[in-house]
Copies of this chain bind each other. A is one copy, B any other.
Amino acid sequence: MPKIVDHDQRRREIVEVTWRFIARDGIDKLNLRDLAAAAGFANGGLKPYFPTKDSILTATFGYVAAATNARIEAGVRGREGLSAIEAFAHEVLPLDELRRDEARVAVHFWHMALGDQLLAQVNAQTMQTWRDMLDGWLVQLLGEGHPDARAARDGMINFMMGAQAGSVLDEEANSVQSLLEQLEHQLIALRRLAETIG
């Protein structure tokens, strides 16, 4: 079915152009005309692939989330417990230019998701995926049913989300070195939690 493959390929190309555009220029300036030009389509040429700007945005945020999650999956392979949590955080924290671009897109995304039910669902799905993964590693670290596991999990996710915003809004306090030390502080807290068991 070459035609369908081609269709999916084109959609992916448009989404890749879109997320780079958002990372560089933000979301307010995003319009279908510029996007079509940047992706090498005639004006109006995106319609067969994405009927509305909103449908491009939903696909784009889904794409960035999927790309992050694919990296996480590769990063944590063969690891468990605290080592897996550390590898996971390394894929989310803005430790390089790609991840900083993802962080910029995330900040714009949160803004959109506050007023858009569909985008909010894309975000909720990613958060649920992250919670499920962390739950597994925290059981490996702390055993089943540790009373502090939930607070540790949701605090770690909030720390990472804040680091995404902080690293692109407040770069001085969130250099790569600083982010790694902040992560180490969080991991030490988890290690201490594990040491106090039984």
Which chain A residues have a beta carbon within 8 Å of chain B's beta carbons?
A: 25-28, 104, 107-108, 110-111, 113-115, 120, 123-124, 127, 131, 148, 150-152, 154-155, 157-166, 168-170, 173-174, 178, 181-186, 188-189, 192
> Known: A115-B28, A181-B151. Contact between A162 and B157, CB under 8 A?
yes
**Of B150, B170, B183, which is within 8 A of A123 by CB?**
B170
- B contact residues around A127 at 8 Å (CB): 166, 169-170, 173
Interface centre among A162, A166, A181 (most CB of B within 10 A): A162
Do B152 and A114 have beta carbons less than 8 Å apart?
A: no
Give CA–CA (A186, B192) in the complex, Å.
Answer: 12
Sampled A-B contacts (9; CB under 8 Å):
A28-B115, A114-B169, A127-B166, A151-B185, A155-B182, A155-B185, A158-B163, A158-B166, A161-B165
- B contact residues around A173 at 8 Å (CB): 127, 131, 154, 157
- Report how many copies the assembly holds: 2
Q: A152-B185, A155-B159 are in contact. List 7 more A-B contacts (CB 8 A).
A: A26-B115, A107-B114, A114-B169, A127-B173, A131-B173, A150-B181, A155-B183
- B contact residues around A150 at 8 Å (CB): 178, 181
Nearest Cβ in chain B — how far from A13, in angstroms?
25
Nearest Cβ in chain B — how far from A95, in angstroms?
14
Nearest Cβ in chain B — how far from A145, in angstroms?
15
- What residue in chain B is nearest A153 (Cβ atoms)? B173
Give CA–CA (A163, B154) in the complex, Å.
Answer: 9
Nearest Cβ in chain B — how far from A174, in angstroms?
7
Do A178 and B157 have beta carbons less than 8 Å apart?
A: no
- B contact residues around A162 at 8 Å (CB): 157-165
- B contact residues around A25 at 8 Å (CB): 115
